């Protein structure tokens, strides 16, 4: 029994170190995001023109269609609001702890927290101003790049998918993927259409959020390898064994 406990503690320490390392390296390892950041900071004209055209075109629609704009604000400020999504992830984490899936709960929490802190840090460093439009239909505080809404949606819906897919029948998984992808895209659209973000802000939030999920997901896969579990596939979730009553492995049997 003492040997088993020492083995579990050693495994937990390795898992925690990998999670922290993945979270810390997320921004640096995000090559597509880094390229976009260089273009934003360098004020690359084609990107600036794309941002301005998207903002002006969608703003005209928002001003001319109040009911449409009200729907976008409902989705952006309530349904897909970062606070709403973070509370949902927190509840999911609590449920995982209740089931005994401690390491999967740690992954979910670490992914959400790392995404929020990294996004805030990049905003503070870049200090990009939000769009300044005539007759604005919405307002938002803080800096603009990357979009916190887009990044939180990316990390949160990835957590929902990668945790809950094992509990969903195979035929219904494509519906879950569709809902998640459409929600993430929808969040970005609402932020640009409401005039509170440039398109490149939203793209940056998507890319940076994806980088965080990929790197923390790899850390979780490394833990699975340490405990002798088979590699999982993104289509079946991070922990296919979640459907079992007790997902914790016996690391003394190899």
Q: Which residues are catalytic?
A: 149, 197
Contact 32, 207 (CB under 8 A): yes
Residue with tokens 């990668």: 162
Contact 178, 171 (CB under 8 A): no
Cβ-count burial 23-39 (b if 16+ within 10 Å, e if not): beebbeebeebeebbee
**Short-list 151, 90, 108, CA closest to 237:** 108
For 31, 175, 186, the CA distances from 35, given in Å and listed in that order, are 6, 32, 24
Backbone phi and psi for residue 229, each to the nearest 5 degrees, phi listed first: -85, 155
Rounded Cα gap, residues 41 and 61, in angstroms: 29
Tokens standing for residue 85: 């999504």
């Amino acid at each position: 029994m003492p040997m088993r406990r020492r083995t579990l503690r050693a495994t937990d320490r390795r898992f925690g170190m990998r999670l922290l390392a993945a979270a810390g390296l997320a921004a640096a390892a995000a090559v597509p995001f880094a390229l976009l950041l260089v273009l934003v900071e360098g004020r690359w004209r084609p990107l600036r023109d794309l941002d301005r055209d998207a903002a002006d075109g969608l703003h005209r629609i928002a001003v001319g269609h109040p009911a449409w704009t009200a729907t976008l604000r409902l989705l952006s400020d309530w349904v897909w609001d970062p606070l709403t999504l973070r509370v949902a992830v927190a509840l999911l984490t609590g449920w995982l702890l209740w089931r005994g899936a401690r390491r999967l709960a740690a992954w979910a929490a670490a992914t959400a927290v790392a995404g929020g802190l990294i996004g805030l840090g990049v905003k503070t460093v870049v200090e990009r101003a939000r769009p300044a439009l005539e007759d604005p239909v919405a307002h938002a505080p803080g800096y603009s790049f990357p979009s916190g809404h887009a990044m939180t949606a990316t990390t949160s819906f990835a957590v929902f998918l990668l945790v809950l897919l094992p509990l969903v029948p195979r035929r219904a998984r494509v519906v879950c993927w569709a809902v998640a992808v459409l929600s993430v895209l929808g969040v970005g659209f609402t932020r640009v259409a409401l005039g509170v973000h440039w398109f490149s802000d939203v793209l940056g939030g998507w890319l940076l959020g994806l980088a965080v999920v990929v790197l923390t997901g790899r850390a979780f896969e490394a833990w699975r390898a340490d405990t002798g579990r088979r590699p999982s596939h993104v289509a079946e979730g991070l922990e296919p064994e979640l459907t079992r009553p007790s997902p914790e492995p016996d690391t003394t049997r190899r």
